[in-house]
């Protein structure tokens, strides 16, 4: 780098001047410089400390001052509230004192009024006694006696003592009445009552309507109370309930079977009338074909079921005999025929009340079976026997398809008479007590109308109608049937088995339990019979 000559000279001059001046001043000692710096630092620190102390004192004093102000304000508020409370207490105490004073004043006034009333009463009583004594002594009439009490009554209308005085006055008047006048009045009343009774008896005889009313009441109320359907059970079997086991002896050694007299029959065999040789007891022999061991086990299952059933509405088992190709069940005998015969018999007039009696007994039999956890599973009119043709007593028979119901064990069946099968049987679903109740609904429908609710042209059509639950009361046969009977059927022919009535519930249904309804049905039955009476020849 090149510099100009003139510049270099000027610079050298400046530096030289500076050196000269430095040389002229006395150089400072290093210790002095340190000491001076230390003192300066101390001064600055002292100043800072003084400033910080002043600031802190100022802040503390300010905060303390503010706290004092707040405390004073709170104290003033507290004193104000305390003064207000004291003032309120004083005012409330003053009001209470005023109320107490008013109450005392009212009590004093009431006491004064009561004292005055007592004085007035005493004065009046004294005046009355003096007047009565004067009148009694002078022998005045009863008319003058009644004047003074009236004046007293006018003077004491408002007070309670006046009421008591009036009562005393009335008692005095009653005591003053003449005994002769009372006797005369009583005699006059008796004469008037006798005359009126005689006139009424002569004109219309009011006693007769009263007697008529009582007769009507006797004809109405007692008939309803006295007319109760015959709910007594049918006669029991002529032998005690027994536990039967099959015997391998020849049945002809003990019984005489009349095979020409057939009591009934079915898919299992025929039922004949028989007589026990030793006792002459009339019984029924059900001859069941059972060639295989499986078929014999089915019959023995029926025997086990019947051994558990001891009810008047259930047929009773007497004995059982087993041979190589058949098993014979000896049972209780009834000669009324099947209930089905009454449905198809045109000469038999089956009324709604008769149906009530039939269904009630069937329900009682089912109630007992279900309590014993037994399902019939083949309930139909052919399996209901009438005890006799003169009564409406029935018994349930044919327990060949019956099963013992175990709640934890799901039971399915694939048998039965198509038109009486419940939907769960057709669908091969679990069966239980409501399965029998469906069949009871079908039987009720048939007894009331003579029609089968689901019967089709063939079994398939019948089963489809059951699964669709297609039935109605539109037929003319239901025109005169009670609404209670229709409701009874409607509560049984329900596709969902959980919604059907149980046997116990059916017995409580109005159609089976309402006596007033039975009374109406009884009169309806009588009218039906009278309307079909043959005309008289004139």
Residue 321: strand pairing partners: 247, 328
As annotated, the active-site residues are 378
What span, in angstroms and rounded, lies between the C-alpha atoms of 150 and 172? 12
Residue 486 among known ligand-binding residues: no
What span, in angstroms and rounded, lies between the C-alpha atoms of 268 and 246? 17
What span, in angstroms and rounded, lies between the C-alpha atoms of 482 and 520? 10
Q: Measuring CA to CA, which residue among 379, 385, 368, 380 is closest to residue 286?
A: 385
What span, in angstroms and rounded, lies between the C-alpha atoms of 172 and 156? 17
Residue 272: strand pairing partners: 262, 285
CB 419 within 8 A of CB 467: no
Phi, psi of 304 (to 5 degrees): -65, -40
Q: Measuring CA to CA, which residue among 442, 233, 249 is closest to residue 330?
A: 249
CB 466 within 8 A of CB 454: yes
Q: Which residues contact 437 (CB under 8 A, 6 or more apart)?
A: 366, 492, 500, 501, 502, 503, 506
Q: Tell how strand 317-322 and strand 246-247 pair up.
A: parallel
Q: How far is CA 138 from the centre of its chain?
A: 81
3-state secondary structure at position 247: strand
Q: Which two tokens stand for residue 384?
A: 């209901």
3-state secondary structure at position 290: coil
What span, in angstroms and rounded, lies between the C-alpha atoms of 199 and 388? 60
What span, in angstroms and rounded, lies between the C-alpha atoms of 32 and 18? 24
What span, in angstroms and rounded, lies between the C-alpha atoms of 129 and 146? 14
Residue 270, judged by CB atoms within 10 A of its CB (0-12, 13-18, 19+), counts as middle
Q: Which two tokens stand for residue 181?
A: 């006048």
What span, in angstroms and rounded, lies between the C-alpha atoms of 232 and 392? 11
| Beta-carbon-side half-sphere exposure of residue 5 (alpha carbons within 13 Å) | 0
N- to C-terminal Cα separation, the chain: 175
Binding residues for ATP, as ranges, are 286
Binding residues, by number, are 286
């Amino acid at each position: 780098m090149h510099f100009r000559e003139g510049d270099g000279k000027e610079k050298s001059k400046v530096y030289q001047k500076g050196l000269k001046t430095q040389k002229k001043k006395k150089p400072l000692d290093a210790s002095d410089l340190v000491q001076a710096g230390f003192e300066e630092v101390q001064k600055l620190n002292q100043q800072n400390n003084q400033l910080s102390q002043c600031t802190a004192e100022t802040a503390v004093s300010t905060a303390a001052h503010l706290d004092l102000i707040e405390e004073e304000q709170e104290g003033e508020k507290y004193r104000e509230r305390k003064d207000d409370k004291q003032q309120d207490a004083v005012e409330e105490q003053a009001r209470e004192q005023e109320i107490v004073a008013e109450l005392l004043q009212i009590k004093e006034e009431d006491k004064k009024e009561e004292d005055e009333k007592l004085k007035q009463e005493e004065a009046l009583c004294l005046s009355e006694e003096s007047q009565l004594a004067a009148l009694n002594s002078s022998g005045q009439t009863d008319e003058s006696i009644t004047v003074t009490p009236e004046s007293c009554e006018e003077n004491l209308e408002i007070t309670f003592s006046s009421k008591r005085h009036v009562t005393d006055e009335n008692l005095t008047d009653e005591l003053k009445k003449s005994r002769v006048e009372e006797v005369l009045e009583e005699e006059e009343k008796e004469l008037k009552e006798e005359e009126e009774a005689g006139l009424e008896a002569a004109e219309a005889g009011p006693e007769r309507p009263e007697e008529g009313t009582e007769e009507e009441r006797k004809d109405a109320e007692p008939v309803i109370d006295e007319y109760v359907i015959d709910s007594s059970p049918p006669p029991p079997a002529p032998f005690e309930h027994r536990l039967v086991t099959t015997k391998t002896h020849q049945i002809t050694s003990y019984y005489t079977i009349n095979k020409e007299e057939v009591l009934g029959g079915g898919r299992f065999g025929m039922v004949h009338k028989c007589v026990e040789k030793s006792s002459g007891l009339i019984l029924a022999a059900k001859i069941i074909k059972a060639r295989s061991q499986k078929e014999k086990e089915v019959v023995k299952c029926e025997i086990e079921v019947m051994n558990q059933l001891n009810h008047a509405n259930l047929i009773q088992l007497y004995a059982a005999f087993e041979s190589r190709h058949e098993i014979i069940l000896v049972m209780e005998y009834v000669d009324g025929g099947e209930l089905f015969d009454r449905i198809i018999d045109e000469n038999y007039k089956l009324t709604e009340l008769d149906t009530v009696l039939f269904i009630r007994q069937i329900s009682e039999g089912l109630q007992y079976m279900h309590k014993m956890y037994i399902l019939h599973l083949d309930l139909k009119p052919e399996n209901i026997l009438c005890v006799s043709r003169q009564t409406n007593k029935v018994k349930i028979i044919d327990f060949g398809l019956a099963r013992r119901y175990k709640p934890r064990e799901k039971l399915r069946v694939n048998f039965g008479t198509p038109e009486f099968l419940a939907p769960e049987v057709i669908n091969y679903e679990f069966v239980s007590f409501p399965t029998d109740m469906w069949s009871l609904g079908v039987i009720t429908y048939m007894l009331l109308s003579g029609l089968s609710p689901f019967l089709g042209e063939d079994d398939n059509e019948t089963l489809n109608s059951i699964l669709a639950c297609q039935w109605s009361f539109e037929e003319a046969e239901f025109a005169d049937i009670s609404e209670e009977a229709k409701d009874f059927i409607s509560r049984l022919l329900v596709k969902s088995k959980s919604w059907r009535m149980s046997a116990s519930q059916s017995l409580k249904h109005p159609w089976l339990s309402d006596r007033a309804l039975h009374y109406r049905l009884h009169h309806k039955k009588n009218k039906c019979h009278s309307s079909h009476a043959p005309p008289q020849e004139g």
